[in-house]
Structure formats: C-alpha cells, structure tokens
Amino acid sequence: MAAERLRGRVSGAFKMHGLLLRADAIKYLTEALQAVSEAELEDMIENIIDAVEKQPLSCNMIERSTVEAAVLECSQSLDETIVHIFNIIGAFDIPHFIYNSERKKFLPLSMTSHPAPNVFGSAKDKAELFRERYVILQQRTHRHELFTPSAVGTHPDESQSKFQLKTIETLLGNSARVGEVIVLGMITQLKEGKFFLEDPTGVVQLDLSEAISFMCWYEDGIFHVSAFGFPPTEPSATTRAYYGNTNFFGGPSSASVKASAKLKQLEEENEDAMFVFLSDVWLDQVEVLEKLRIMFSGYSSMPPTCFFFCGNFSSAPYGKNQIHSLKGSLKALADIICEYPSIHQSSRFVFVPGPEDPGPSCILPRPPLTENITEEFREQVPFSVFTTNPCRVQYCTQEIIIFREDLVNKMCRNCVRFPSSNMDIPNHFVKTILSQGHLTPLPLYVSPVYWAYDYTLRAYPLPDVIVFADKYDPFTVTNTDCLCINPGSFPRSGFSFKVFYPSNKTVEDR
C-alpha cells in the first residue's frame, strides 16, 4: 500500500477514537505497518489503538514512545502464544478494573486515583465494594435491549415495550403516587422484619406483600412491589464487543485470549485435552485414596491434561494434628500418583483449598495451602500447583473459574423468596450468580469478603465455564453461553466426578 494512503488510514482510525498522532509517531507507525497485508491491516490498527488506550494517557496527543510500546505489545511471536496456552491465575493476581461512568469504559486500577488493595481494608473499601457491584450491574442493564431508548421514528408499539430505570432519589422527590416504575437496587434489612431497597442515591422501604404481577408503585414513602427479579444477564460476546480486547480475566496475555486465532486453532485441534474436577477430596480416608488409585489406573493409558482437586482435604478438619495429618495425606497421594508414570509425567495437578482447610480464616478470597504443608508433595509431583480459592484457569481461548464454597445451602437459607419449584434449584442458583455477576451475592456476614479484593469474585464478563465445587448434588447447567458445573462431594456422591472436554465444551459424569 502507498505510504501516503496508509498514513491517512492510520491517522483516520486514531481520530475515530478521539486520538491525535504526533508527526514522528505517525511516521513510525506508517513504516511499521508497511509490511502488513491489506487483509490484516484493519485488525492490526485496531489492536494497536486498544494497546495505546490501555496506557496511562495524560492527553489525546499520542507520542512516539507510546506508539512504540503498543506496537511491541501487539507483535507477539508464536513462542509467546505457546506460553499462553494453559495458565493458572490466583485470585490475588487478577487485574482490577474500575468502571468510569463519564468515559463509559473500564479503567485499570493504575489509571485511577484508587489505592492498591490491602487485606486490612478501610471503611472506604467497604463502601466501594457495594458501589462497584452496583455500577457494573447498572451499566450492563442500561445496555440491555429492554432498557435502551427507542430510535427516532420507530413504531409506537416498539417504544411502549421499552422500560426506563428510575433512581430511589426520584421516588423520594415525589409527594404524589408514582405508578409503574422500575428501580435497580440492593435489597437490605435495615430494621428487623422490614425490607428496604438501596442504591447510591438513597434508600426506601419495600412492601413485598403483593409481589405477583409486573407492576410497582410508590406511595406514602413506601415502594409497593408487585414483582422483583434479577438484572438481565449479558453474554460474554456482547460485553467484549462493547469493551474490545481488554483482558479482564488475567494471565500473561496483554489482550483477551478470545481474540487469538492461533489459540483458537490449537484449542480445536487438541481434541484429547480433558480436565477432571473433584471436590471434597478427603485424603485422610483410605476409601477415598483407593478410589483415586482406581481413577488414575483408568486414565493411565490416556492421561488428562489436568486434575483439579478441591478441598476440603480432610474429613476431620479441626484439631491440633490437622497440619501434620494433611502433610501425611498429601504424601500418600503423591506416592499413588508416582505409581502411574504416564500421569505423573503428563498431567498437571491443581489444588484449590476448601473452607475448612488450614488457612488464616474463612474470608474470601482464600490463599493457597502454605508451603510448609505442600513442600514434600511438590518435590515428588513437580507439575502441581497449589492456588487460591477462587482461582481462574485460562486454556487457549477458554476462561474457567473454579470456586470451592458450599454456596447453594447458604443462598437457599438467605433468599428473600424461595423458588416455587424446589426441584429446579440448580437452575435458580446459576441464574442468580450470572445475573448478579458475582460469585457470592450474599450479605457480608453470611459470606465474608476482603473488602478491597471483592473484585476477584466477579463473574463479569461471563467466563466460558464456572466450576462450583459445592457439597450439593452434582449438576451441569448452561445459561447465557456459560457452562456451570458442580462435581458434587466426591465421597458423599458415590465417588462421582466431572470431566470437561474443552475442544467441544462437553461434560461427562463419571
């Protein structure tokens, strides 16, 4: 392509994003893109612009040094791609993005005035926890087709099918009755036996006695609710179409792995890849170890890519001998693994701690088991990783969240209105998690969280797979293109477990 024409295309693309290039920057870019084919040029320019926007910019005038850094980031070699095939991401390594309402985009923590997170959070961190949860759901809901304003000239019937979100401040400012109103907020109990709805603008008492039909009204200081539900979910593809290739998930890749054609090809070609998920692996039980030996024997001819073992790792978790006992149990597991050289050499082993395993507390996210407990096991089984709870797994272009918590029972005990269909609890549970965009949408006294690290429990954008390692009965549910798996308790469910095949996104019960 002629240099002058290429220069115009580059300059025009940056202007479309509100950015201007200095003369030396546009000269450098023109030379760097000269060898790129016409078919790949547009994508390459967009990738460079995305990389530029991720950097801390003081103004819209882009210097050459900024462009050079962006080009270097986009010029990833095949060797770097191979590094990105399989990664375990601990909760404390997840990138923190904060939604900016003025710019209508997520900004990395480094581009904001927020301090670095600390486990000893301040009162401001607690307030930000709820504000961030709310803002994420608000921007997602506003973008849903039911809440977007109708285009000029559309049919009147189409305009009538649209809804508009109101704030609590709007209700409190009206002395007359306000009918047929929809409000997005958090249900709280500020007084015993009474529910309130809260958002950043205020709080209003709720009357839930007639929550049947879809109509709500506000009168005499009380919001009379006829129906309440969750914010609409949003597929991952929709979120990424809006926010580009930002890597919300974490891992070594600077951009979202969803954009990598090489990784997608590797994922589809590797049909033998499989992940095995087990929960409540009680290593102090002889019967559990025997069942694991049988499982390894069955897989020895075709070793899985990875075994994911979720705690609790002891059936009797408390007592002064717990740590000593757990070290001995891990040693016994390592000896069994070494009996099968093909699995020992080919498979990886990931350990996610449970709520009753040795650790600082039951507050989430939980750090991994300490090194003094796992040292001997790691020496015997080098391809093992002891990670946090929750943790994230990136395999090629797929994103997987693993969370070990007995959450179903907690949510059933603390729900405002219990589902009418008791047999369909897994579907209700999955819909709740995905709609809230959070792994623990519960009061902090029920499921405590390190305030400054609440972002590590987000399920937004939706991943490809969420593994809920819960003691509830095993289930497999798909909602909004997100596959949700619960392998169940290994010893309590007849030693059953789940096997996931990434190439075709299928799950087998074993």
Per-run averaged pLDDT (10 residues), the chain, 510 residues: 82 88 88 81 85 81 88 62 82 95 90 92 94 96 84 58 85 79 90 89 86 61 81 94 90 86 89 96 96 96 97 86 93 97 96 93 94 96 96 96 96 83 85 96 95 97 97 96 97 96 94
Beta-strand (E) ranges in 102-192? Answer: 105-108, 165-166, 178-179, 182-183, 186-191
Q: Strands (DSSP E) along 49-123, which ranges?
A: 61-62, 86-90, 97-100, 105-108
CB 404 within 8 A of CB 353: yes
Angle separating helix axes 322-338 and 371-380, nearest 10 degrees? 10
* 246, two tokens: 């930002």
- 51: tokens are 């990389």
Query: How far is Cα 334 from Cα 327, in angstroms, rounded to an integer?
Result: 11
Give per-residue burial for 410-422: e unless 16+ CB within 10 Å, then b.
bbeeeeeeeeeee
Note the pLDDT of residue 236.
94
Say how far apart CA 251 and CA 345 lie, in whole Å.
Answer: 24
CB 125 within 8 A of CB 131: no
The alpha-helical segments, DSSP class H, found in 236-321 are 236-243, 261-269, 286-299
Q: What is the dihedral of CA 170, 175, 177, 178, to 10 degrees?
A: -10
Which two three-digit tokens encode residue 103?
């710019």
E-assigned strand segments in 337-378: 348-352
Q: Residue for token digits 């103004």?
A: 59
22 near 61, Cβ under 8 Å? yes
Pairing of strands 182-183, 186-191: unpaired
* Residue type for position 387: T
Question: For residue 390, is the peptide bond before it cis, meaning its omega torsion is within 30 degrees of 0?
Answer: yes
Question: Can you tell me the distance from the alpha carbon of 258 to that of 89, in angstroms, rounded to the nearest whole number?
Answer: 16
- Asked if residue 425 lies in contact with residue 412, where contact means CB atoms within 8 angstroms, the answer is yes
Beta carbons within 10 angstroms of residue 252's beta carbon:
12
Q: Is residue 247 within 8 Å of 71, Cβ to Cβ? A: no
Q: Distance (Å, rounded) from C-alpha 347 to C-alpha 273?
A: 10
Beta strand pairing call for 217-219 and 222-224 = antiparallel
What's phi and psi for 71, nearest 5 deg?
-65, -40
β-pair type (182-183, 20-21) = unpaired
Report the alpha-carbon distance of residue 500 to residue 508 in Å, rounded.
7
Task: For residue 470, count CB atoms less than 10 angstroms from its CB and return exposed for 0-12, middle for 13-18, buried for 19 or more.
Answer: buried
Q: How many Cβ atoms sit within 10 Å of the Cβ of residue 13?
A: 18
